[in-house]
């Protein structure tokens, strides 16, 4: 005769013991993969932003030149991963270059005789270039800080593997010294 209560209890217990730890490991791996993908995307975007910054600072650059640089890379995919905030300055930069070209063409053709709109477009393009350059430099410094932090973390992990007690004492002492100095 089948002992149904014990069979059901065993099935539930097996599902809980087997499924939940597996789910936890899967969620942890998924979060780690997502974090790594975001870091890789951010470093790739920082490199392209630096390239766009240098191109926008050179004399004679047109919106077509910026477009050629932008098309070489999956910027729209990066926008879905990183969010739209990082790319608003890029759109403003591209729009600034396009508006200057449009107003310059209108002035040369004679359809627009008021040069103030052209000068306003030039000023907005200068502001967009400065804003984008500041963002690019900030991304470069953040990525550099991330590399330094990752290297320090890897060094501490290696130290814990080779000398766990000594490393624990040193890290505890460093933590106390930082706390005493007001550095969190």
Using one digit for the tens of pLDDT, what is the confidence trace for 22-49? Answer: 777 788 888 989 988 988 898 899 999 9
What pLDDT sits at residue 101? 93
Q: Is the pLDDT of residue 142 over 90?
A: no
Give the H or E element holding residue 35: helix 4-57
What pLDDT sits at residue 2? 78
What gap in Å lies between CA 73 and CA 69, rounded to an integer? Answer: 7
Q: What value does the CA radius of gyration of the chain take, rounded to a whole number of Å?
A: 27
Distance of CA 107 to the CA centre of its chain: 40
What pLDDT sits at residue 72? 94
Query: What value does the mean pLDDT of the chain take?
Result: 88
8 Å CB contact between 118 and 100: yes
What pLDDT sits at residue 88? 93
Task: Compute the average pLDDT of residues 80-101.
Answer: 91
What gap in Å lies between CA 148 and CA 140, rounded to an integer? Answer: 12
* Residue predicted with more confidence, 154 or 143: 154
What pLDDT sits at residue 165? 87
What pLDDT sits at residue 163? 87
Task: Compute the average pLDDT of residues 133-160.
Answer: 87
Q: Is the pLDDT of residue 184 over 70?
A: no
pLDDT band (50, 70, 90) for residue 173:
confident
pLDDT band (50, 70, 90) for residue 20:
confident
8 Å CB contact between 102 and 92: no
């Amino acid at each position: 005769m089948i002992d149904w209560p014990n069979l059901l209890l065993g099935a539930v217990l097996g599902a809980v013991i087997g499924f939940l730890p597996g789910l936890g490991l899967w969620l942890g791996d998924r979060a780690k993969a997502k974090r790594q993908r975001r870091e890789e995307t951010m470093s790739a975007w920082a490199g392209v932003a630096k390239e766009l910054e240098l191109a926008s600072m050179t004399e004679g650059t047109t919106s077509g030149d910026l477009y050629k640089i932008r098309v070489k890379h999956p910027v729209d995919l990066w926008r879905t991963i990183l969010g739209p905030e990082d790319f608003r300055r890029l759109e403003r930069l591209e729009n600034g270059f396009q508006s200057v070209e449009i107003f310059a063409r209108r002035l040369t053709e004679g359809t627009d005789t008021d040069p103030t709109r052209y000068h306003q477009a030039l000023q907005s393009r200068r502001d967009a270039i400065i804003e984008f350059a500041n963002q690019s430099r900030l991304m470069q410094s953040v990525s550099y800080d991330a590399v330094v932090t990752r290297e320090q973390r890897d060094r501490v992990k290696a130290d814990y593997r080779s000398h766990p007690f000594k490393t624990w004492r040193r890290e505890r002492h460093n933590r106390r010294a930082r706390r005493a100095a007001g550095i969190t």
